[in-house]
Amino acid sequence: MTDAAALVGGLLIAPVVFSAVEIVGYRRGQFGREFWESPLDAKLDHVRRHNSAWWLMTLPGFPILAVTTAGLAALAFLLADVAGWAAFGVFVLGVAAWLIVLSVQNATTTVAAQRHALTGRTPDWAVAAWQVGYVLERVWIVFANLAAMGYGVAVLRTALLPNWLGWAAIAVGLAIPIIVLLTRDGFPELALPAYLTLGVALLMT
């Protein structure tokens, strides 16, 4: 159990490496609050001037999803409980939503930025992509944290891992959506704290 738990824990904390790359792009491109709260025209102009940093910030999302999904599949297999597999299904639905944002919104933003520079107009499809992306980003955060609570329930039901680990997953998974609701901030990384908590805790068991 210890070796299996350590493997799962390692997979769940591995996204930290890719998140560090995201932070580099975030800082190099100056994609702070002012950027996200600016009108879409201003966003597109900013992305055009910091295109490499934009991709440096967004591309790591793919390996983050891949590694986290692998870790959670392994955790569901380890727990062998219906609540764990249900949680994994919910997480996969959230992943599907975030993959749409990563593959569609991010690519279209670069194209739209070039089009905006040439014509001075923001394409309608770019506006639609950002509107849909806004919704799907929150779907990703909520579903990922619902899944974390499901894993917490599975831990409590199986008693294969310490009960405090299950309660920690439930607490973090519940707290993040409440924070998003209160602050209206929807950074996609808010889907990950519960799994980082699980990963660190599993490495300590």
Question: For residue 25, what pLDDT band results from cuts at 50, 70 and 90?
Answer: very high
Q: Cα separation of 31 and 57, whole Å? A: 9
User: Rounded CA gap, 38 and 129, in Å?
Assistant: 16
User: Do the Cβ atoms of 78 and 143 come closer than 8 Å?
Assistant: no
Domains of the chain, residue spans: 2-204
Tell me, what amino acid is at 124? D
- Between CA 30 and CA 54 the distance in angstroms is 10
- Please give the average per-residue pLDDT across 175-196, as a whole number: 82
pLDDT in tens, 46-76: 999 999 999 999 999 999 999 999 999 999 9
Task: State the pLDDT at residue 1.
Answer: 54
Q: What is the pLDDT of residue 183?
A: 75
Question: Residue 21: CA atoms inside 13 Å, Cβ hemisphere, count?
Answer: 16
Question: Do residues 102 and 147 touch, judged by C-beta distance below 8 A?
Answer: no
Given a contact cutoff of 8 angstroms between Cβ atoms, the answer to whether 205 and 155 are in contact is: no
pTM above 0.75, yes or no: yes
